[in-house]
Every structure is written in C-alpha cells, then in structure tokens.
A and B are shown apart, each in its own frame.
Chain A
Amino acid sequence: MIFLKRQLPLAITFVMGVTFAFQYYIPHPVSEEAITNVSKWMQIISGFALALGLASIFHVHAVKIKRQVPGWGYSIVLYAAMLATIVVGFKSGGETKVDGAQTAFGWLYDYSMVPLQGTMFSILAFFIASAAYRAFRARSPEASVLLVSAVLVMMGRVPLGQFLLPWTWDVTQWLLNVVNSAVRRAILIGVSMGQVALSMKIILGIERAYLGGGKDQ
C-alpha cells in the first residue's frame, strides 16, 4: 500500500518529468505525437482542477452559514448569486451572444461582473495616492533615488509631463530600456535558476509538497 501511496506517485513524476524534459530535444514523430496528445490531456485535466478551487469557496461559505458566524447573511447572497448565474448560464447554453443578440448570461456578464470586477481593482488608485502622501519620504539616499526615479517616470509617461518638460521623456526611456532592464534581467535570471532547481527537485522526488502532505509522504 505504501508503494501505491508514496513510491508510485514519485515514480510517475520522475518518468513524466524526464520524458518531457528530453522531448524538447527530440524532433522524432513519436516524440511530437506524445507531446501533442499529453498537452491536450493537460487542458482537460486543468479543467477538472478548476473544480478544486471552486469547491474551496463553496466550503468556506457553507461553514459560515452552518455556524452562523457574523455576516453569514452575505454568504447566502454569494450562494444565491452563484446559483442564479449558473441557472441563467445553462439556460443560455453557456453563450453570451447568439446570432449577435445578447443572452441573459451575456447581460449578467456585461452589467454585473464587468463593473464589479473593474471597480474592485480600480479602488486601489485611491489607496495608492493616500499611501504615497503618507509614506513616500526621502528618508535615506536610497529612498531619495527611488523617489526621483518615480517622479521622473510619472512625468515622462504622460502628455502633460512631455509637454512641460520634454527631457523627462528621454530620461524615462533611458531609465526603462537600460537601468530597469538590467535590474529586471538580473531578477529574471536569478528567479529562473531557482525555478529550474525547484523543477529538478520535484522530478527527483526531493520536493514533495505537491503530494498534499500526510504521514505517508
């Protein structure tokens, strides 16, 4: 049983990892056929995996309703909205438009989901302004450099800044294409090396967190 629960998954990871790492270098038709089919399978399996994420939202709010914690009424609103969207969606055949005409599902998407999601993230604009006023201080030489760079980029990337101080445009372009590129490149190289190391650890069975824990890991 321990073989099925521990060794077999690790063996599968190893075989899959090594096979598809080497597949990149092998242009043989069998190799190409393998990656064609398995990548298609991954699309389908990812769809099943989506359900895992959705299930956790169901569970969290079901517990809130069951225990009647403060604010559990909002969890009922959440469930009601979810069920209503699912019913409307299935009745519309999963389509937002049919022959150019908007369906009820499309209406729900355009006039509820889009404004809600858009507004949720746009509210950060207010908080970024408030945080900039309270916390963005030139306390040290490094902070001063950060501040000057931020002000130059904010001026150089908008028409008013380009109009009042045209040189800010050129300075911004230089900062982005040279200095920023250098930093981002270094971070990218470092992070990528870490990713490759982690992938190798997973394939070799050193890293096992993805198996989901438990005493027989």
Chain B
Amino acid sequence: MILGAWVAAGLTLFIYSFLYKDNPLFKLGEHLYVGISVGYSVVLAWHTVFLRLLWEPLKKDITENPAVFSSYVLLIPAVLGLLMWARFVPKIAWLSRLAFAFVVGFGSGVAIPRTVSSYILKQIEDTVNPLVTRGADGLSMGFNLASPQSGVNTIVLVIGVVSVLFYFFFSVEHTGPGKVTARTGIYFLMIAFGAAFGYTVMSRMSLLIGRFSDLIKFSGAEYGYASLVLLALTVLALAAWEMASRGRREV
C-alpha cells in the first residue's frame, strides 16, 4: 500500500507538471496512461466477451445438447465478429461490411421508435401542460415561480422551447416577427449556456478536489510523506530539465 501511494502520488504529480510546461515527465505519464488503459481493456474484454459471454455458454450448451440447433446459435455472433476483423486484411476487407450492416441496421431500427417515444413525444407532452387547473374554487392559474409546473413557468417554458427551435430553423429568414422570436431564443440560449458553464466549473473543480484529497492523504507519515518528497523531486527534475533545455538553446 505504501508503494502504491508513492506510485499514485508520483504519477499524479507527473501529469500536473504539465501546468508548468509540456515536459518529459508529463509525456511519460501520458503514455503510461494510454498503455495501461489499453492493457486493462484487452484483459477485461477477453474475460468478459470471449470467456464469459461466448466460450462458457457455448461449451455448456454444446456439451449438454449437442444434437440441438439452438446450442450452436452463439456461433452466429462469433462469425459476425470475426467478419468485422476481416477489415485488417485488404483482400477480404469487404466482408466486414456484412457485419457492420447487421450491427448498424439493428442499431438504427431499435433507435427509431425509442427515440421518437422518449425524446420527442414525451418532451412535447410535458411542454404542452395545461395553464389553468380546475379546483373546488373553479379555474385557477399558478403564479408561483418556485414551482416548475405552475402556469407562469409553463408559459416561460413554451416561449423558450418555441423560440429556441425557431432560432435553429435556418430554412426561413429571421426577419420581422421571426427576428424577435430568434432573438428571444438567443437570450434563452445564453442563460442556458451560462448555467452550463457554471456547472462545468463545478464539475472540473470537483475533480481537482478529489485528486488533491488523495495527495493530502498520501502526504501523511503512514505513507512516508510520499506527496511532499515527490513534489520536491518533481520540482527539482523540472528545474534541471529547464536549465538543460536553456543550455541546449544557447548552444
């Protein structure tokens, strides 16, 4: 665990060294990251896809019921998967089209009804909420801004959806009333982008807080002051590299 702390802190500081300038420590960390990620993906893909999803169920079905056609049905996706790999051999690369056609056709087919139902119909349904409700005292409209479903917020929502949809409709020139609608849409968009920026800042800072929390943890005595020692070594290494680079430039 102590070795792990030193490795984790060291790699973290290598990546953060980019904040000074692009340097060999950062490049080392970056290439280690890609290499380890690819290696991890290969191992997990092998064990999950080839062993767990394909080999073990196929072996079990064929062993238990060798005369039944359905025991061999998993060979179909295996063959289609291998056809995809035909892409690597230029002479038979065209075979991969059959596999891609199968996958893309299925993906496009299942997406259509589900997209229409979830993203279009459901969203339009919520946009056209009633403005007034019938209660014991007759018809009433909610003016409570704090309640997202109130009448006044529904009006704002409808104006927002329509004006933004209109803004992105470039087949019609944005003149006259169209210009007013499009400008309204732009202001709605700016508010949403501002909110998105605020949330993005929150998100990125959270990631930084997480890494710093780990560095603080690894700076303790139980981890041999890993973060502090490695920070000092990283700074020295960067200083040495900077001096060497300047020396090379002067020559």
Contacts and interface: CB of A to CB of B under 8 A. Distances in A.
Contacts of B193: 146, 149
A149 B105 contact: no
B200 to A, nearest CB: 7
Contacts of B162: 186
- Of A42, A45, A172, chain B has the most CB atoms within 10 Å of the CB of A45
A94 B41 CA distance: 10
Nearest to B197: A150
Contacts of B98: 8-9, 12
Of A49, A112, A149, A186, the most chain B CB neighbours within 10 A belong to A186
A20 B18 CA distance: 49
Contacts of A175: 191, 195
A150 B195 contact: yes
B207 A57 contact: no
A21 interface: yes
B120 to A, nearest CB: 5
A165 interface: no
Contact of B36 (A112, A145, A146): A112
A199 B111 contact: yes
Contacts of B47: 93-94
B19 A51 contact: no
A191 B146 CA distance: 29
Contact of B164 (A57, A86, A126, A183): A183
B77 interface: yes
B53 A47 contact: yes
Interface string A174-212: 111111111111111111110110111011000000111
B239 interface: no
Contact of B39 (A42, A52, A85, A186): A85
Contacts of B38: 54, 57, 78, 82, 85
B148 A178 contact: yes
A50 B93 CA distance: 17
B199 A112 contact: no
B235 interface: no
A151 B84 CA distance: 50
Contacts of A30: none
A210 B104 contact: yes
Interface residues of chain A: helix, strand, loop or mixed (majority):
helix
A164 interface: no
A146 B190 CA distance: 5
B102 A12 contact: yes
A142 B194 contact: no
Contacts of B35: 77-82, 85
A13 interface: yes
Contact of B202 (A20, A93, A157): A157
28 contacts: A17-B108, A21-B108, A21-B110, A21-B112, A45-B103, A47-B48, A48-B80, A49-B84, A50-B49, A52-B87, A77-B28, A78-B31, A78-B32, A90-B43, A111-B7, A124-B207, A128-B201, A153-B199, A172-B195, A179-B195, A184-B192, A185-B127, A185-B160, A185-B161, A186-B185, A188-B123, A210-B101, A216-B94
Interface of B: 3-5, 7-9, 11-12, 15-16, 18-19, 27-51, 53-54, 73-74, 76-78, 80-82, 84-85, 87-88, 93-94, 96-106, 108-116, 119-120, 123-124, 126-127, 145-146, 148, 153, 156-162, 164-165, 168, 185-202, 204-205, 207-208, 210-211, 214
Given A13-B102, A20-B106, A186-B160, 17 more contacts: A12-B102, A16-B109, A17-B109, A20-B105, A40-B53, A41-B74, A45-B80, A46-B103, A47-B48, A48-B85, A49-B84, A81-B35, A118-B214, A149-B191, A202-B105, A203-B105, A210-B101
Q: Which 9 A-B residue pairings sit nearest by Cβ, starting from the closest?
A: A182-B160, A85-B39, A149-B194, A47-B49, A81-B35, A48-B81, A16-B105, A153-B198, A89-B43
